[in-house]
Structure 1
Amino acid sequence: MGRKRKHFTNGKYSQASSKAKALSAEPNRSSPTLFSFGDPEPVLSGSWGNYLGTFLEPSGDYYVPPVSQSGLANLLGANAHHGTIPYFKRNRLRQWFKASNTLKPECLANAGFDHSVFGHAYFQKIYNRFDHILRLQHLPALNMRRMKEKDRFCMLRPTGDPIVFAPGEVIQLKEYDPTQQIYGRPQYLGGVQSVLLNEDSTLFRRKYYNNGAHMGYIFYTTDSKLSEEDEKAIKAKIQDSKGVGNFRSMYLNIPDGKEKGVQIIPVGDIATKDEFERIKNLTRNDVLSMWRIQPALAGVMPENSGGFGDIEKISRAYYENEVLPMQDVFMQLNEWLPKGKRIGFDKPEFVHS
């Protein structure tokens, strides 16, 4: 008789395995969860980046990842390049995947995305009635957790008990982490500060233009010809210059006024002296470096007439240095698959030429 087990079908799970025990109820997850990496700190100061390994959550059922998984997911929206490069890597992985009944292309692509962003990916073994592996189903890495028991995993849910899988039912592919062997470690962690600095510079510039809540000058007057009503009118005009529609001009006429009775003393000129463009360019280069991708492949516009060089040569180099190693990661699935169910990848045309 085939073993009964939970199967993941069309985004839902069927009957749980008789061998899988229910976990004790966890705190209600129906309320929203907010996440922040916190203030910028050096890696060696004991901050979130200082890897100390993993530990069991309070009930002792599964291990807590050393870095917030939801934080890594939210970080994708902080920067244009950091948010799109994982999709590019996913597409390149899927591009040469051989069609197979064992693993759908979209399952491979989603797992490739998880592996790049979180440092680990998961597949569920789907069995037929004769207890033979029928196919593999991708499991979202965001909520997957390694349980206390060896070779056993569970999936957290927004509400209710986690979904528990039978021993050996889930395949985990992960990046190597020298500090712990429970979860994988994403390769780009060293560039997170650059991603956040890029976001901060954009938000600062947006706030500057949207609300004008900055002190750009000192309006200084010593002219005794100004009445109290005139002072109130000038003050109102200056206050009205902030917010939407800022940078307005103001006309001021003082009959028989003194020379230099009214002076505008600049405090700062962000339009010409800020480091916005320089910060954006430097942090962008850091993001491209931490993902090990050429600017020509990341949608960056060249700043010189020569461009970035031969795009075909760049694509070949990227295939050899990045795509092939990522394919090798997923070729490990064949260790769990029978001979007739194994997966593979085609070679691009430029390899044969």
Structure 2
Amino acid sequence: MSRTLKARADRFALSRPFRISRGIKTVAEVVTVEVAMDGVTGRGEGVPYPRYGESIESSLAEIEDARAAIEGGASVAEILSGMRAGAARNAVDCAIWDLTAKQSRRSVAQMLGVAEPGPVPTALTIVIDTPRIMAEAAAAISDAPLLKVKVDATEPLAMIRAVRAAAPDAALIVDPNESWDEALVRAAMPVLAECRVDVLEQPCKAEEDGWLAGFRGPVPICADESVHTVDDLDSVAARYQAINVKLDKTGGLTAALELAKAARERGMGLMSGCMVCSSLGIAPALHVAQMADWADLDGPLWLADDRPGGVWEANGTMHPPEEGFWG
């Protein structure tokens, strides 16, 4: 019996605005893929990102272009090689992982030969606002082990200092989302060290980060927008000390694991990240998180209503979804 493919757009309202240097998000728009065979259905999710030239419409079109291969019995390798790295391929890849696990009655972890994903500390995000409001937000979750501080180029050092004062014991990730320039990075380094920031994530535009080659500050710098797949690793390794692996960039769990392992072999730091998504986007990423130095998987925590049976968080620790939810 051949596979059948269904793909649709889903929208999840956020419980509160998610503001970063690129703008404000109030709704998470995702693509949901279902691949079924012999009465068994696998699910996957992707989040199209305009920064990478993606939209809901373009992602659905990419999946439709792959329909003949998906439904016609092509191998997983053939299907994935015919799609570009991105949200559409992520949704398809994760749906096939889920389908294969259910068909074989083995979990994805068993297929990979690794331990089942367990609870993992995850960054809780403090979005951009005034330093006072950001400090209040940090104080409310100051017991969490890891916070991510979103900043822009307006008054980032005041924001960072305010969050650190309100959450003196939490580890900090600072994420300008490409809004800084070289001068600001260099000027910020002493303050980042003073505030005991663990890692600075993608401070400059990916197209303008060449100056980072050979630069070493007191705080390591992690690539996000500058790295998508393992093909980027040679150039990225010369400029960054760590990478953020997101399934929506790599185009699925298959490529994400390849990139994470390659980074580890180079001795690079590793972050497991996500877009603002539902638990269906997080469940596969938990396999990368088990390998990572930092997990940043709080996307579903911003939703007013998540998919039933999904991940849940307590005191800054992300817990896996209910059995049978995915993988």
TM-score (norm 1): 0.21
Greater C-alpha radius of gyration: 1
Structure holding more strand per residue: 2
